[in-house]
Amino acid sequence: MDLVLEGFDTFLFDPLYATLFPASTAFSAGLKGNATLSSIREAATGYPAATWQYTPASEYLSFTPGKYAYLSELPRDDWRRQLASLFAITWFFGLVIYYVCATLSYVFVFDKATFAHPKYLKHQVRQEIWQTNKSLPGMAVLTAPIFLAEVRGYSKMYDASADGPGMWYNILQFPFFILFTDLFIYWIHRGLHHPLVYKQLHKPHHKWIMPTPYASHAFHPVDGFSQSIPYHAFPFLFPLNKFAYVFLFVFINVWTVLIHDGEYIADSPIINGAACHTMHHLYFNYNYGQFTTLWDRLGGSYRKPNDELFRKELKMCQSEWKKQSQEMEKIVKEVEGEDDRTYEPLEGAAKKVQ
């Protein structure tokens, strides 16, 4: 995240911190006619800002700091400033990725006939968005300290290939990351279904029996953070390229939207796509995996998606919906007891196929 933080510092946070926490002597130097960055640094002697020296986060991409980088009592390497900045970045990125990806998926991919499903909730999209907006700040609070540890050099992330295991690892780090995180997310997700924690932590995400893309990030904050722990743990245990890390951070969030989009394209015995995840929302105790079906198969929790999901003419069939609802209602009683959801399918949203 040091790459991202450097960019935000240069274009946003340097002027902001210089305004909120000014270094007065540095400002005096800056107000003198034609002051240079060098003179500003020298005039700031005795302030924390004078101890900070710019070092690019990457030899391939850098953002040269302007004068504001030297005009604050809180220099860029102050851990308090870094923590606050990383919290804001995490929250901001979460919101941007969520709204952009979920909206694009909702408009262009999501089958609106789902609105007529008997287990579609009253004002569901509004509720999904509200839950996400409530949860993202909490998830950012829990995540920012991990990003801080990364920025301050405690992880195994590297910039150039020469600093890593070798060119071969630049490719293999991607499948390695997927396999590692898929394993641990499976067990964390399965653990969140334990009766001792399910109702307190994971039930808010299972409120959506037939989710829309806006349900993708609609978690309890601790639930959402818990399932992200393997992503954050990986670069502390294994080498990971900085650019690969940023790419994977975006990919994970996009994937989370995709498996909630209700468009059942991947009829694959390997990929844990939207169809598999729909089975999880409908029937609770199956398909805990994030990317693949491997650990569900080994753990005895795999449930093959219904064939009807991949047949357009049967996907929204009333008889199929009735069968889904009846089984789902039995499982809800076992897992939650009384069903406290309020359902309100939209009449006429789907073509009725008997």
pLDDT at 274 over 60: yes
Distance from C-alpha of 282 to C-alpha of 351, rounded to nearest angstrom: 21
Distance from C-alpha of 345 to C-alpha of 120, rounded to nearest angstrom: 5
| Banded model confidence at residue 309, pLDDT cuts 50, 70, 90 | confident
* Least confident stretch, 50-59, 62-71, 190-199, 280-289: 50-59
Mean pLDDT of 76-91: 96
Q: Tokens representing 322?
A: 């009735």
Q: Cα–Cα distances in Å, from 280 out to 144, 145, 275, 283?
A: 30, 31, 9, 5
pLDDT of residue 35: 52
Distance from C-alpha of 234 to C-alpha of 254, rounded to nearest angstrom: 19
pLDDT at 38 over 60: no
pLDDT in tens, 329-347: 999 999 998 898 999 876 6
Mean pLDDT of 93-104: 94
The values of phi and psi at residue 262, to 5°, are: 70, 10
pLDDT in tens, 120-170: 999 999 999 999 999 999 999 999 999 999 999 999 999 999 999 999 999
Contacts 24+ apart (CB under 8 A), 104-108: 105/213, 105/257, 105/258, 105/261, 106/212, 106/213, 106/214, 106/261
Distance from C-alpha of 281 to C-alpha of 40, rounded to nearest angstrom: 58
* Least confident stretch, 161-165, 224-228, 320-324: 320-324
Distance from C-alpha of 168 to C-alpha of 164, rounded to nearest angstrom: 10
pTM (global) more than 0.95: no
Q: Cα–Cα distances in Å, from 315 out to 21, 180, 284, 303, 318?
A: 58, 33, 20, 17, 9
